[in-house]
Chain A
């Protein structure tokens, strides 16, 4: 990237790292919410989560069943 990056430059590195981590975490939470199938939580709870988020998953275009 040859562009100036003022927004990043005048901000502590810690803040930038924290921001990226948090953004990644937020997106992973979305993935977890929409695609959890027993990897991280007990499969019974995962099944419940899968059924509870079912309509949103279809509407948001995420592959379902």
Chain B
């Protein structure tokens, strides 16, 4: 059975990522931008009160309108690149990814990606709108953010391969994987330093909440759509190859 060309994998990944990015940009526009706008309005009242060095208003190289538009474009580009990486990882891992069909394992991998790349950093160092964040701590926060993702990827991979270790009997596998997931998560949250910035008293809690929920919805939806579209494309290809839809599950390992 022929292996799918790498170019096809990349194409599917880019397409899945672009669709997810388009949807993500739409969610960002409708759900996240209102909070960003409100946060910038708060920053503006600070600059008006002569804290000109605090926000983004001190030296405008990109207007607010452009920032919104470029922001949506950035989401599209980021999602397309992520889709390519996702497809290549999916291809490299082959049947080490859980799931019985091409679409099932694409969704499963997207779910694991969401846990490691989105949920873990969101819990350790939650997203903040403008108006929150001390420029002096941005390096520590960025290192923590990337370090959390790295640790979460290692933990997620370990838990997944333990849950699928064929040397262990099924009952033991479940217990071992669950125990590792719980112990690992607790250890990570305990070990990783809390470097999140305090939220200024004049930024309403409701604004922070809306922003964080909007951000999680946006990224979560992007993972889901990326996995779904990629799974659909692999499934459609497997079906076209074999001519029989029911056999796609036997073929997915090579796509």
Q: A residues touching B (Cβ–Cβ < 8 Å)? A: 1-8, 10-11, 15-16, 18-20, 22-24, 26-27, 29-31, 33-35, 47-48, 51-65
In Å, the complex CA distance between A16 and B9 comes to 12
Task: Known contacts A59-B218, A60-B78; decide if A3 and B95 are in contact (CB<8 Å).
Answer: yes
Q: Closest B-chain residue to A53, C-beta based? A: B74
**B71: A residues at CB distance < 8 A:** 52-56, 59
Once the chains bind, are B118 and A61 in contact (CB under 8 Å)?
A: yes
B91 to chain A, nearest CB (A): 6
Which residues 1-29 of B have a CB within 8 angstroms of A? 3, 6, 9-10, 28
Chain A's nearest CB lies how many Å from the CB of B250?
Answer: 12
Residue of A nearest to B135 (CB): A65
B67 engages A6 (CB within 8 Å): no
A40 to chain B, nearest CB (A): 15
The SS class assigned to the B binding surface is: helix
Listed A/B pairs (5) with beta-carbon separation below 8 Å: A22-B88, A30-B82, A51-B61, A55-B70, A55-B74
What is the CB-to-nearest-CB distance from A51 to chain B, in angstroms, rounded to a whole number? 4
* A35 and B96 form a contact (CB under 8 A): no
- If over half of A's interface residues share one DSSP class (helix, strand or loop), that class is named, otherwise mixed; here it is helix
Q: Give min CB distance, A53 to chain B, whole Å.
A: 4
Contact of A6 among B72, B122, B166, B254 (CB under 8 A): B254
Partner of B82, one of A6, A19, A26, A35: A26
